[in-house]
């Protein structure tokens, strides 16, 4: 009799544990699948307001991106739409007294949005490209520091993606601030 009770108790415990795992896995998958996987807003809504910048910055260009603004690689992975905005502090004609921040936002098919990060840094003639530590922004991110081999000026470029949106933020000129650029990237990420 004791043997039957022991076997019955073990079977009951196994059934309870299995039921718990089945229920737990079903509730987790419901939560994950109910999250939106794509950004439903207009990409122009992701630009940063001028209030996000220190005094002295102004908006010098804002425009929807067209196919001619997109690299061959971007077009080959299904670029859909995008928006560019450029902020400037100082005089763009005077390279010794300027800070430029450019924000480029693009929408890609969800299955291809990470390919820009996977590709790594672009190489430009006359510039030394160095990868910096990953700032962990969005679902994937990548940072490159470009140094002009003649003038020694630096540009910092943060690229990240979240959902179906790929973002590139660049800070260049005679006055750059990588830490501030990371703050701006996090602000854009929070809007997606």
Residue 18, SS3 per DSSP: helix
- Pair 91, 176 in one domain: yes
- Pair 47, 135 in one domain: yes
pLDDT, residue 93, reads 73
pLDDT, residue 27, reads 46
Distance CA 98, CA 91 (A): 6
- Pair 18, 83 in one domain: no
Distance CA 29, CA 145 (A): 40
- Pair 31, 57 in one domain: no
Which range marks the domain in which residue 58 is found?
Answer: 43-191
The first and second tokens of residue 167, run together, are: 């973002």
Along the 192 residues of the chain, how does pLDDT read in single tens digits?
565 555 555 445 555 455 555 555 544 444 455 567 999 999 999 999 999 999 999 999 999 999 999 999 999 999 999 999 999 999 767 767 889 999 999 999 999 999 988 877 878 899 999 999 999 999 999 999 999 999 889 999 999 999 999 999 999 998 899 999 999 999 999 999
Residue 50, SS3 per DSSP: helix
- Pair 11, 68 in one domain: no
Domain count, the chain: 2
pLDDT, residue 54, reads 94
CATH of the domain at 85: 3.40.1000.70
Contacts of 126 (CB under 8 A, 6+ apart): 148, 149, 150
Q: Are 55 and 87 in contact (CB under 8 A)?
A: no
State the pTM of this model: 0.79
């Amino acid at each position: 009799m004791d043997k039957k009770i022991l076997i019955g108790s073990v079977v009951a415990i196994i059934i309870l544990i299995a039921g718990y795992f089945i229920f737990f896995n079903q509730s987790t998958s419901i939560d994950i699948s109910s999250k939106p996987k794509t950004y439903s807003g207009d990409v122009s809504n992701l630009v940063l307001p001028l209030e996000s910048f220190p005094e002295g910055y102004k908006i010098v260009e804002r425009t929807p991106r067209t196919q001619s603004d997109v690299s061959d690689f971007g077009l080959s992975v299904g670029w859909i739409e995008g928006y560019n905005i450029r902020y400037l502090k100082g005089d763009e004609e005077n390279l010794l007294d300027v800070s430029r921040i450019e924000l480029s936002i693009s929408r890609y098919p969800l299955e291809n949005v990470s390919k820009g990060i996977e590709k790594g840094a672009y190489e430009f003639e006359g510039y030394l490209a160095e990868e910096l530590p990953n700032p962990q922004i969005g679902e994937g991110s990548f940072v490159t520091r470009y140094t002009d081999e003649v003038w020694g000026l630096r540009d910092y470029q943060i690229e990240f993606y979240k959902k179906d949106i790929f973002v590139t933020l660049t800070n260049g000129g005679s006055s750059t601030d990588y830490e501030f650029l990371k703050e701006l990237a996090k602000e854009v990420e929070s809007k997606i």
